[in-house]
Structure 1
């Protein structure tokens, strides 16, 4: 199986990273960081979430942030949207892409969204229809694809059915999430080998967490099958709410190092990315857990 011709890195730190941080950043700090990310060469930045502030207080200023950032041509600015009310706020901010979300396991879906999978379909269908009417692209997130903190193993057939339903509703891309960081390379290839019989590879993205240190290995496993789209958070921001003390998302800077050393041109400026990482590290007043930032923090690389 040939490797992909290109790799696209989708930065989710301002949303998936910050929503798991105990430190609540100021609106100005978030805007400054997103503006810095826009100058790195990233083509996709998920900037915030329009989930009710009661559930994600870290992103309560979603409308203010999304409305005030300096947008750069060629960059897609996306936001997570749970329902029609959230969509109206996202449209008011004129985000480029709307992201909807649900889980592959019933127990996690009820815990995370407070709805059954069946009830969630109805809500998401309304969001997708209206977003499409407003000429917005739509991304679907499926959590717990590779394992659930409540149910354990998740059936690939369940993932397949949910993917199929979301694409029928009109999403443009589906991101497959390893929510608790339990995936291994063989499992990744087994799941993707089954899904690729039904969906084009370019319509699927992978969202790995590095809870057990396997995120980059899982990226390589997906690349070996020709997959090219990967979510990541700069510096490895975030965490897993179901695994106390676990590291967070796959780190954008670690992913960039790996694929650049393999000869891929992502269009991302490594120095500017490092500067953006140092910026958010300063705002959070803590060292970021990525390998690249560990080197920087030890003085091994001068920013």
Structure 2
């Protein structure tokens, strides 16, 4: 009887707390990783903050395209802040203990911001579609009210679905190991620790992922098919180059983000090791957000010009 009570007590303790393994399999370079990820995090904050600032103060950037870009930059800041500070704390303390509530909260926000990013990238593709395929009506179609409504929908549409899904997952009983072989509470590794039949939860997660990854991606592809078709019809080589340049940055970001998100959330379950899954997650949660501001600034003449103007003013 006493042994049974002890077992039940251990099970309750396991349910109340998880342990994030993070990068404990390479203990000799924990300090180096801390330094690298801290620099990356600060770079992401600084670069995205600069983009938000210049799109607000520079009159030439007061257009729907840069309004969406400033929202995307703010979303990137929110997205990385959910995971990187916690990971830095774990690297510094070399402890990965995280409560059930903290784990559920982190997962909820990661999925929420990830879903919002998918939708916002779709909105940005639609903006480019209207600008290139229907330029005469661009200011009417993409007026301020419509832009605000689109951004609001991008931020809020995923919220009820993600909250419901997170609640369903964390309502499951957890038993046995409470160790998550990951650096944050992502859906696939957490679901692996649940006891009993998780088939319904897996199907629900797959459907939600397909909704927020596949459907937006197909809409983006459809937009770019129309965009490229219209660009190829242009007689001027300069016009073609300018049209392609306004879309290329967004297209690169879409390929990077959707590629890693698809591998993570839509891949067949047994086909990938936890180490590879962790590496892919590292790409879409840290490396790609670090590259996005660079992609948008270096490939955008308007932003480069606005940056030079801002630097010139600040040095005077």
Question: What TM-score bracket applies, with the shorter chain setting the length?
Answer: under 0.3
Structure-1-length-normalised TM-score: 0.26
Structure with more strand by fraction: 1
Structure-2-length-normalised TM-score: 0.25
Larger radius of gyration: 2
